[in-house]
Amino acid sequence: MHMQRFCDCLRSCFLLLCCWWRSNKVSAATETRQIEVGVVTEGGRRKHNKIKTSKYTLLMFLPKNLTEQFRRVVNFYFLIVTVIAIIIDSPVSPLTSIAPLSFMVMVTAVKQGYEDWLRHKADNKVNNKIVEIVHKGVIKEVRNSTVAPGTLVRVKRGQEVPADLVMLCAAGEGGKCFVTTANLDGETNLKTLRVPPPLVGYTADILPQGMRIEVPNPVADLYTFYGRLEIPRMDSLPLTPDNIMLRGSRVKNTEWAIGCAVYTGEETKLALNSKYSGNKFSSSEAAVNCFLVFFIYLLVIEMAFSLVAKVIIDKWNYQRQAYLGTPEEHPLNARSILQDLFSFLLLYYYIIPMSLYVTIELYKFIGALFIGWDEELRCNETGRPAIANTSDLNEELGQVEVLFSDKTGTLTKNLMIFKACSIKGQIYEERDSKLYDTQRFDEPADTFQTDIKFFFTILALCHSVQVSSEDMKKLSARLSGHGNTQLMNFFRKKKSSKPGGRIADNMAWSGLNEGGSKMDYQGSSPDEKALVEAADRVGVTFLGEEGNNLLLKIGEDTEMYERLQIIEFTSERKRMSIIVRDKDGKIWLFCKGAETSVFPICKDTALIEETDKDISAFAVKGLRTLAIAYREIPSEEYEKVGESIKLLDGKSAEELQQVTQQYRVLEQQLTLIGATAVEDCLQDDVADTLAALRAAGIRTWVLTGDKVETAINVAQSCAHISESDRRLFLVDVQTEEAMLAQLEHCNRAIEEPSYREVTLIVDGTSMSQILDTALADTFVDISLKCHAVLCCRLSPIQKAKIVKLIKNSNEHPITAAIGDGANDISMIQEAHVGFGIFGKEGHQAARCADFAFTKFSMVKKMLLVMGHWYYQRLATLIHYFFYKNLVLGNIMFMFQATSAFSTQSIFDSMYLTFYNLLFTSVPCLLLSVTEQRWPADLLLKNPTLYREISKNKLLSWPYFAAWGLSAVYHSIVVFMFSWAIFCIPVIHTDGNTVDLWSYGACCFQLLMIVVTLKLWLQARYQTAVFILTAVLSLLAYMIFNTVYSLINVRIDGDVLGTYTKLLTSATFGFLNVIVVVAALTPDYVTRLISDKWGRRNVSTRQPPLSVFATRL
């Protein structure tokens, strides 16, 4: 019967496993999902909109938290020791293990519990927020957590979007909704979202029934979305990023918008981007682990030696029989061996500091707060402080060897100013808001020439810039005063009275621009905004848009274009295109982008070569360039693309994505018209910062997407490279054989003796022949020998791969990366330390970085000052913890050697309990927060001091050995001087002899004084608070010991009156003075020599830094 039940149970488990595997297989194969608009799946399996960032529940907090804590090897080790102390006949009270471990676990649990309570509180606030939904045409208020895929949600002006919604209708007949995405990527500019064209003008009560939305499974990319909207009795429509309102965005300048929830809860892009991508660990953790392993070996050796010595002494020391009696016939057995072995473990395990990790965590947490409190790292313009998104990497700031930097927005301000353009091979420059032909500057060029006007018309149409709502209102008011009914209707967002609503006759504009006011444009890209503003200055003004209609003012006339399609810019394409229909019904494709992506899709004409020369000339001046091209598309070809879209099934993620990519086939056989050139101003103090980093031994790489000539000019301007250096080029190398030859040439050039610095310049084409190939190691060897490296025309993924390549090289240098844009995130997260700049293009890089601030120049203080302090403090903290515990352990070991390894403890258990827990921890923690080996101004004036702490020098074995020898010497002095005094057992004034506990109390007080004064002597930055805590720690011990000796409490032995009698002994007082002098005199002399030698290498004046500046 039992066997039958067992077989049935196994069969059920097998069937359950098969079903689970099959369901997983099916779900993995399903790449898209269909959502019925307005229909919510009932039942427990429906997806809800609940956000959960908390880790624990009230019921599971204790078991889950304890499990997590004891997964750490050190905590588990101390737990095993505590269990052993309880089980065996321990030489010390189990309280010495239980109390510190319990306190350490309790502090960690309280900290994590409090943090999780805050997360619960934040979750409940979000989940219980009231939102409006549309149910059967009626507006209802529900909790945010109840929203599910298919729910129609209404969002009013100023409210946050509660889920990822496909927008179906919006206030106003244009079907537009303006949002800001500051919570997602930090961008504060307005973004325009659009209702799918067939639904423009609909409201919630008249939306077609039976609509379905097909979308792919959720992805974290904020800028990627594609899908399909199926409307009964109509053709299906492709969905783009312009149709989705992301959770966390906020509605602006729109009364309301209604959308259908497609991704909710943990599937929203906001939630997916909130998940941490991976952990970063400090290089100091490896050093700590090595030191721990050393002490574990030392512990095992001491235990084994003590056990063997005890056995030998017990066997050969016959004199003890007269006092202890005849030994047993078979004293050696497994039980007695384990008893002795574990007893020695409980006596010696104090050499491994139990509270080290807790103290390090507290130090790092407090240190991260100081970064936010530093006024010099606060932006003067915005008042924004620096932010430490993690506290685990504070000390890593002092170990950076290679810094990878973005250029635009990081070394430069990302403040774009239009400077020049090339039109049909002719260069024009802008001066005093007027366009001049470079061949004659006597009078401005006629901007209404056909080519010039058409060039700037493309710039005024091919963009994603928006006109501010204030300008729209002003223009509407002016138009109403001049009686232009058609334009009034446009700006009042009414339908055009002209049939078709897409063509407007030219209208008089005289008098509408009185006062000379300029349009206020808002754009996500400073480049685009600069180009649209330049077009406005030459007389081609973008006035705004209504639905898919774009309005331009050209001179005194107006023209309206119908926007048919936008082919978005991506980092892979490096270009954007717009397809429009003009008033004559012609269809045009206008394109702008990097010349490397635009030239290949243009007709092969002589103009390409001329424009390329002009672009190179712009780049030499440090200007950013874009190529401009166009094409007239036959109506039949455009309609053919539309028909091909209808044939796509869209049942897979790939085909669904192809729906939005079909229009890219029209980007061919374009006609090049010219190029633009804009200037990006340098950040403040960039040259001084890079020169200081170079003096500190930090190699700087600039990784940019700009042209080689532009990057070189900017690199010279900001002192990254000098004009007199020796330059090695790996540019436009397209084959492996050519790359191998180039690398051999570079290697020979580097080996040649030369007084000039070597700079390596690489482009993206060449890097594609290096990354993920056998040539990567050769490139790394060459690049790390160069003084500066400049990488141009890189994609975001190439930036990350370069960082990874250098990070994992044979030298294993500590890397840092700094950038300001979303395209820098992969590079920032790949480096050991990531810096984010609060940039003009958003704050997403700052949010994903380890540390964030507003200016590149602040990295100088972060590395040279903060990095130096944090690393020095952590090194002192770690060495001191091991030192003070080694002194304690050595005294325990020496006492065993003088007591025939009897497993008797020299110290009372209460001393051992509070030694690490209270008596010695507070001064050390405070010093680790305030210590300054050198003041901030001296570190900034002497960047070479950074080299003294690089490559983990302060946590190397020589420094560890010096602290270890100091611990051995101090323990010998304390023990042997006490032993010498106590050889004469009468030291009290009453003539009585001393006992073991008096000897232990004497040694412990001397131990406390020596280790506390050693810490005081180690401090270079003396503060009243630190000195007070050191004194109070000694007083706290003395008060505790006095009270403890006055109370008749027996834990290990009779300590009643022991300490109070010692305090009345003149011999004991004399011993304190002698031990302090003997123990700390070598340390004091070493300190004097160290300070004198250190000052010889420090200059108090600002050294001349090699700064090479070139005016753009």
Name every residue whose Cβ is closer than 8 Å to that of residue 891 and which is 6 or more positions away in sequence: 906, 971, 974, 975, 1003, 1007
Name every residue whose Cβ is closer than 8 Å to that of residue 391 and which is 6 or more positions away in sequence: 364, 365, 367, 368
Element (H, E) at 473: helix 469-482
**Nearest Cα to Cα of residue 388 among 357, 365, 359, 363:** 365
Q: With contact defined as beta carbons under 8 Å apart, do 646 and 658 qualify?
A: no
Q: With contact defined as beta carbons under 8 Å apart, do 551 and 490 qualify?
A: yes
Cα separation, 641 vs 661, in Å, equals 10
Query: Three-state DSSP class for 47?
Result: coil
Q: DSSP states of 708-725 as a string?
A: HHHHHHHHHHTTSS-TTS
Cα separation, 289 vs 81, in Å, equals 19
Q: DSSP states of 650-692 as a string?
A: --SHHHHHHHTTGGGGG--SBEEEEEEEEEEEEPTTHHHHHHH
Q: DSSP states of 130-191 as a string?
A: EEEEEETTEEEEEEGGG--TT-EEEEETTPBP-SEEEEEEESSTT-EEEEEEHHHH-EEEEE
Enter the DSSP assignment of 842.
B
Sign of the torsion formed by the C-alpha atoms of 294, 297, 303 and 304 = negative
Catalytic residue among 406, 527, 706, 820: 406
902, two tokens: 């009897």
Query: Three-state DSSP class for 790?
Result: strand
Q: Which amino acid is at 786?
A: C
Q: In the chain, what are the helix, strand and coil shares in percent, each to the nearest 5? A: 50, 20, 30
Sign of the torsion formed by the C-alpha atoms of 364, 368, 373 and 376 = positive
Cα separation, 565 vs 633, in Å, equals 13
Cα separation, 157 vs 418, in Å, equals 35
**Nearest Cα to Cα of residue 552 among 593, 584, 504:** 504
Query: Three-state DSSP class for 116?
Result: helix
Element (H, E) at 461: helix 450-461
**Nearest Cα to Cα of residue 574 among 460, 424, 706:** 706
Radius of gyration of the CA atoms of the chain, in A: 37
Mode of pairing for the β-strands spanning 833-837 and 250-252: unpaired
Query: Three-state DSSP class for 252?
Result: strand
Q: Provide the 10 A C-beta neighbour count for residue 983.
A: 7
Is 406 among the residues known to form the active site? yes
Q: What angle do the packed helices 921-930 and 356-373 form, to 10 degrees?
A: 30
Cα separation, 519 vs 176, in Å, equals 20
Q: Which amino acid is at 126?
A: V
Backbone φ and ψ for 789, nearest 5 degrees, come out as -130, 135
Name every residue whose Cβ is closer than 8 Å to that of residue 800 and which is 6 or more positions away in sequence: 826, 827, 829, 830
- Give whole-number Cα distances, 816 to 1, 249, 403, 828, 834, in Å: 68, 31, 5, 8, 6
Query: Long-range contacts: 117-124, Cβ < 8 Å, 24+?
Result: 119/53, 119/54, 119/55, 120/54, 122/53, 123/50, 123/51, 123/52, 123/53, 123/54
Catalytic residues: 406
